[in-house]
Structure 1
Amino acid sequence: MKFSDLITKKVHIIGINGIGMSALGIYLKKNNIDVSGSDIAKNSNTKILNQHNIKVTIGHKSSNIKNKDIIFYSSAIKDNPELTEAKKNKIPHFSRSKLLQLICKDKFTIVISGSHGKTSTTSLLGHLLIASGLNPTIISGGIMNNFGQNIYLTDSNYVVVEADESDGTLFKLNPNYLIYLNVDQEHLDFYKTYEALKNKIKKYILKISKKSRVFINTDDHFLSTLSTSSCKNIITFSGKSKSTYKYKIKNLSETKSIFDFYFKNKKIKKDVNSPLLGEHNVQNLAAILSVLHDLNLNTNNNAIMKYKGTMRRMNKLGKLGKVIFFDDYAHH
């Protein structure tokens, strides 16, 4: 099946109000595909979907998929009346990963994955690629404050995608570029053991690096073990360990972060200013600058400082006395 095959289909998305599924629903609608969806309750994404003229039914029942040609469902959906009805009537039904795979096929795709920092890195990379003139479509796992929603749509052949390893979605993609930020002991409900998760990631990275450029953080203990690979397509970045790209922090304050950026021990950017706080965000930006440099694209401090962040990712609410208040997802 190709993405173009969906043009003539009536598509229904189960769990459409989810942050990942809602973005894909909007993508389908903007590509003139007849799309509807359902979910168990309304949330802030429902309003955004309605603004794109996507019908969202609240409550799951078999009648929701009447006359539908193909069903896509969230990985959070294990079983419900609509999925049961689709199976009963042999209506083609696929998980979110299949739809993402169809969207990315034949596109120049940059995928961001890891245990932490995916959403922030995806939205900032997309923002800086726009500033560099590539103008990609961006599919993020959070509301990007620069655009007011979790997807930025263009007619460009470039796509920036946040991909999660939690349900194996990542491993079905074949990106041109992959950024792997870090690996933590999580999703063991799916992988059963930490070793199984690490083995899956290692196998995937070594497989796609035969054709794709893979950027890994060597300050992460597990990812650093992959940097010993002789594959020229595995590129490293870090702040502390040996790597192709490196950052050296000069100042971390309550308003911004400042660092120098190096390529093969040569300083290529001095006094990079970022509105994002904390060393973890410097590390995310270092990954982005590594990719931009590898693509022969330049960016400047002005573009970085115009980035407005992602909703509920260290959003500053205000200050009371000496105490600064932030709104952060803090889900892990």
Structure 2
Amino acid sequence: MRIPVPDEVLPAAELGRVHCVGIGGAGISAIARIMAQRGLTVTGSDDHDTPFLPALRELGVTCHLGYDAAHLGDADTLVVTTAAREDNPEVLEARRRDLRILPRSAGLAAVMTGSRVLAVAGTHGKTTTTGLLTSALLAAGVDPSYAVGGVLTATGRNADAGADDLFVAEADESDGAFLHYRPHAAIVTNVEADHLDNWGTEEAYHRAFEDFADTIDRDGFLVCVVDDPGAARLAGLARDRGLDVVTVGESATADLRIHDLTLDGSTSSCRVSRGDDDLGELRLRIPGRHYVLDAVAALATGLRLGLPYDALAVGLGGFTGTGRRMELKGEVAGVRVYDSYAHHPVEIRGDLEAARALAGDGRVVAAFQPHLVSRTRIFGEAMGRELGAADEVVVLDVYVAREDPDPEVTGLLVADAVPLPVQHVTYVDGLGAAAQALAERARPGDLVITLGAGDITGVGPRVLDLLGGD
């Protein structure tokens, strides 16, 4: 559902009683949590009882299951998820009452009012980088507010209202939300075409990031990972427009440069230098080169804010991830099971590279659920090609969200594109069949990984049960 952003976004304290449509999602639940912590009266509804709801209920937030006009009660303001349908009864009732209706982006902007916003953007890696930056700031003695698209393992939460004036926010480009945050500073991890159902063309998608850079305070700064061509191009344009830009990466031209990179199973390490100055070693408890780049982008942000390297490095080194980002679900019968939110070809490539390092001498057995009809139509063949990095592949049908199904666009577009030497590609119908297929293929020493932004996250626990004989 498209809800326009008002010309003026009021501070959260002036919104009155707030009702959240889609309160179980990562984005809306984060907004609701911060509002509740600040003393606002918040209620919400969702059609699923998601993992974010118990923590909200502990704060006194009434969370209804299912949508009904009666759930609005005496609300003054509605905050609405982009996934809401046009016929949502709560939105229709709010319109009938002429209540204030805000999209998710405006709801987040309302809770960020008065803060120095550190916005984390990019096609891939936003959630992990937001978590890394939050962890680094906390270790450096800062108490920021934060809103992350997944649960931080360090806190067990996806959001908190901090005591200091900094606000770390995951800045979503999918619907243009990130154009409304007016950050003091921003990180851009990479820029590679996605969400073309909204932007239409790759050129329009890149222009959106240029517009995002233009929203940064003129006395603020932009951090770009210049190993990515899209982010490197953006860094050059932003500098030409007079913005203070800090570049990071393995590139010799980076302001903060990574060298001596070592990937060792579930850990990563590198040294970081600034010009001729060797700042020190950075040791991480997360695997994969892409996560090292995310960590150094967070490090650069902390340093630019005047925080000490050693404290920031401790926070980054203690970071163990966020929910659904290479998240270990468990180990049974010598088989480790991981879950990942990867839903774009580049994300699949990065997480399978990390999975290969984690697997050691074992095999990588991957299950993938395509997300969105439009994304699968555009990137389905590329998704299949990247899945070729696994030893065994199970593909599910498309997880339909925000769009209507298309009989011409199914998971077979992905399965048929998986290349040799993968000899075993299986197309299955449903989560139960996927779990059964994975359990049948896995053997001691293997690493099983479920990939996708839909409900495939529920497959990993089923695999563990099947392997354990339950």
Q: What band does the TM-score fall into relative to the shorter chain?
A: over 0.9
Q: Which of these two proteins has the greater Rg computed from alpha carbons? A: 2
**Displacement after TM superposition at 1:51 (Å):** 1.5
Give the C-alpha shift of residue 160 in structure 1.
0.7
1:55 aligns with 2:62: yes
Of 210-219 and 228-237, the range deviating more from structure 2: 228-237
Residue in 2 that maps onto 1:248: 259
The equivalences for 1:167-246 within 5 A come to 167-208=175-216, 210-228=218-236, 229-230=239-240, 231-246=242-257
Of residues 265, 281, 298 in structure 1, which corresponds to 2:291? 281
Moved more, 201-210 or 104-113: 201-210
Tell me the CA shift for residue 41 of structure 1: 2.0
User: What residue is the counterpart of 1:12 in the other structure?
Assistant: 19
**Which position in structure 2 is the counterpart of 1:267?**
278
Match of 2:82 among 68, 75, 84: 75
Cα offset, 1:75, TM superposition: 1.4
Q: Relative to structure 1, is the Cα distance of residues 232 and 39 closer, same or farther in structure 2, using a 3 angstrom cutoff? A: closer
Secondary structure of 1:227 counterpart: helix
Describe the SS at the equivalent of 1:296. Answer: coil
> Bigger CA drift: 150-159 or 26-35?
150-159
Question: Shift of the alpha carbon at 1:324?
Answer: 5.3
Counterpart contact for 1:13–1:35, Cα < 8 Å = yes
Worse-superposed segment, 291-300 or 156-165: 291-300
Distance across 1 between alignment mates of 2:96 and 2:125: 40
Alignment partners' CA distance in 2, 1:212 and 1:232: 8
User: Is contact 2:185–2:217 with CA below 8 Å preserved after alignment?
Assistant: no
Corresponding residue SS for 2:52: helix
Residue 25 of structure 1: aligned partner: 32
The structure 2 residue matched to 1:145, chosen from 153, 157, 164, is 153
TM-superposed deviation, 1:290 = 0.9
Structure 1 residue 2 displacement after superposition: 2.5
CA gap of 1:192–1:49, structure 2 versus 1, over 3 A, is same
Cα deviation for residue 10 of structure 1 reads 1.6
Which structure's residues are more often strand, by fraction?
1
Contact 2:209-2:234 at 8 Å conserved across structures: no
Gaps of at least 5 residues in structure 1 are none
Alpha-carbon distance change, 299 to 320 in structure 1, aligned in 2, over 3 angstroms:
farther
Quickly say closer, same or farther: Cα 1:329–1:88, change in 2 above 3 A. Answer: same
Corresponding residue for residue 115 of structure 2? 107
Q: How far apart are the structure 1 equivalents of 2:327 and 2:48?
A: 26
TM-fit CA distance, 1:265 = 4.1
Residue identity opposite 1:286 in structure 2: V
Q: Aligned-pair distance for 1:306?
A: 2.2
Residue-by-residue CA offset, 1:149-181 (whole Å, 9 max, x unaligned): 111332221111111000111010111110000
Name the counterpart of 1:41. Answer: 48
Kept in 1, the 8 Å contact 2:138–2:315? The answer is: no
**Number of aligned residues:** 328
> 1:191 and 1:292 mapped to 2: Cα distance?
32
Match of 1:306 among 299, 302, 318: 318
Give the distance between the partners of 2:205 and 2:146, measured in 1 at CA: 27
Distance 1:126 1:135 in 2: 9
- Which structure is higher in helix share? 2
The match for 2:327 is: 315
Name the SS of the counterpart of 1:204 in structure 2.
helix
CA drift at 1:202: 1.3
Amino acid at match of 1:35: V
Code of the aligned partner of 1:282: V
TM-score between the two structures when normalised by the length of structure 2: 0.67
Per the alignment, do residues 328 and 256 of structure 1 end up closer, same or farther by CA in structure 2, a change over 3 Å counting? same
Match of 1:326 in 2: 338
Give me the whole-angstrom Cα distance separating, in 2, the residues matched to 1:215 and 1:265. Answer: 20
Shift of 1:295: 1.5
Query: What is the aligned-residue RMSD (CA, Å)?
Result: 1.8
